[in-house]
Chain A
Amino acid sequence: MDNLTQIEAVIRKVFKDDSLIIDAQTSADDIDGWDSLTHLQIITEIEKHFSVKFTLSELLDVNTVGDIDRIIQQKFA
């Protein structure tokens, strides 16, 4: 399973909505209820899922789901 599919599963779990379609361009603006609290929950769940830790500068670079994918790939490179 590629990273993006796994990230989609994590975001669906946070929103408790299995119908969410997530791609690399998806951002908080595309999903109702994606606010500061859910953003932190998503990052925390992704950190647990991939066993990584985002730094503040990485967090500040996240505008889309594709950015999350890119940061994870960099951590495993």
Chain B
Amino acid sequence: MIERSEMNKELTLGQQFLASADKFPEHDALVMEEATYSYKTLKNTVRKWYNVLRDSNCRDHRIGVYFTNDLDSYAALLAISVYGGSFVPLNPDYPASRLHSICKEAGIKVVLNVTDNDFGCQELNADASTVDSIEMPPVVIQPGSYVMFTSGTTGGPKGVEINHEHINSFFDFVMRSGKWDFDENDRVLQAFELSFDMSIFSLFLPLISGGCSVVVPLNKIRFVEIAKALSKNNITVVILVPTVLNFLLPYVDELDLTSVRFSFFAGDKLLHSTCTKWAEQLPNAEIVNMYGPTETTIASTYYPWNPIQSAKDAQNDIVPIGLPFNGVEYLIDEEELCMRGSQVISAYLNEANEEKFLNTDRGRFYRTGDLVAKLENGNLIFKGRKDHQIKLNGYRIELNELNAFIGARIKGTFYLHPDNH
């Protein structure tokens, strides 16, 4: 483990990865299907991409990375962070029009790891000849760490830039609050696309601790790939969306999960009955429900699941989302959860969606749109949505974005609503 005292809180995620690589060069850093890459190998690949940025004299604050879920995707993303830039993952499954819109919104001119792109950006690619042996100091000094795009209500995606303070506060709480103990021996399941911010948790939790991130292939039948990864990699930390758990449950008694120490869920409602079945297969694990929109940096509340207490706390079988992380405060405005603090953004990119913020005497709060109630023991419990947002495998989908998109292309009257199936 890299001690916090050894680190500068302003270090980027990429620079924290370099500290791990220097301390544990022979440790496994990434597992991808049959291939295992050590920190030394990953650092050399990162250096290749860093040199591409340096040689191109790039000074952009935000740089796109087209992720193909291979070593180069991950190394290019890390290189942007080492270089000091804010990385913006671009999902190849998105249509060109959406990628164009994301690049325009984030002011991205340069994209790594893509050829013949049809969304109007300059391409930078690396080959073996660009490797050299120099150190990798930050070149661009700016506050942004990464940008994620979430579904917007007006027909376009909303850009959320998480800065170094936000993400370091998140990892400070997760790694150093004493709630959970992670170290260089942990092997963490990475089952998310890089355009989903939970991936930052499952990728960087190990990479800044000296541990290993086990990357699940982006196959259409994701739960089968997750089951394969769980069955052969001695995973110690599982991070999943509850929806995936429902697919795994029919087969879970055939999985050997004795190596698992922690099981984190986030991104959708977690059911007590599901946890009860899952817990039977994880005799040595702590189960934690986490909650947090992208705007509050991955997760900002937590609830340690317990078979007895959670049976009392759960409502309609739904497990509470718990208490806020240190440094995050909340208020409840007409049942809507509003949050502020060291992990919470105070504006979207380009100052968009001002109505999503609430200015009070206590400061500026982000309106989550999630309706909550407070239990007698202080834990928060999710009650529903204020608007027409739905969740699909943990992804937020604003039905109004779909309505706006379809409305611009089809004449006539129609309206998508969460109650219309």
Contacts and interface: CB of A to CB of B under 8 A. Distances in A.
Interface of A: 28-29, 34-37, 39-40, 55-57, 59-60, 62
Closest 4 CB pairs of A and B: A56-B254, A56-B251, A28-B220, A36-B223
B407 to A, nearest CB: 24
B251 A59 contact: yes
- Specify the main secondary structure of chain B where it touches its partner: helix
B122 interface: no
A35 B93 CA distance: 14
A57 B227 CA distance: 9
Nearest to B244: A36
B231 interface: yes
A39 B231 contact: no
A5 B399 CA distance: 40
A36 B244 CA distance: 9
Contacts of B388: none
24 contacts: A28-B219, A28-B220, A28-B221, A29-B220, A34-B220, A35-B220, A35-B221, A35-B222, A36-B220, A36-B223, A36-B224, A36-B244, A40-B247, A55-B251, A56-B227, A56-B231, A56-B251, A56-B255, A57-B254, A59-B224, A59-B227, A59-B251, A60-B224, A60-B231
A34 B227 CA distance: 18
A60 B228 contact: yes
Contacts of B254: 55-57
A66 to B, nearest CB: 16
Interface of B: 219-224, 227-228, 231, 244, 247, 250-251, 254-255
Contacts of B244: 36
Contacts of A34: 220-221
B200 to A, nearest CB: 23
A36 B223 CA distance: 6
B281 to A, nearest CB: 12
Contact of B221 (A36, A56, A57): A36
Contacts of A55: 251, 254
B222 A36 contact: yes
Nearest to B247: A36
B139 to A, nearest CB: 41
B256 to A, nearest CB: 10
A56 B244 CA distance: 15
A25 B228 CA distance: 21
Contacts of B255: 56
A37 B223 CA distance: 9
B191 to A, nearest CB: 12
Contacts of A40: 223, 247, 250
Contacts of A36: 220-224, 244, 247
Contacts of A62: 224
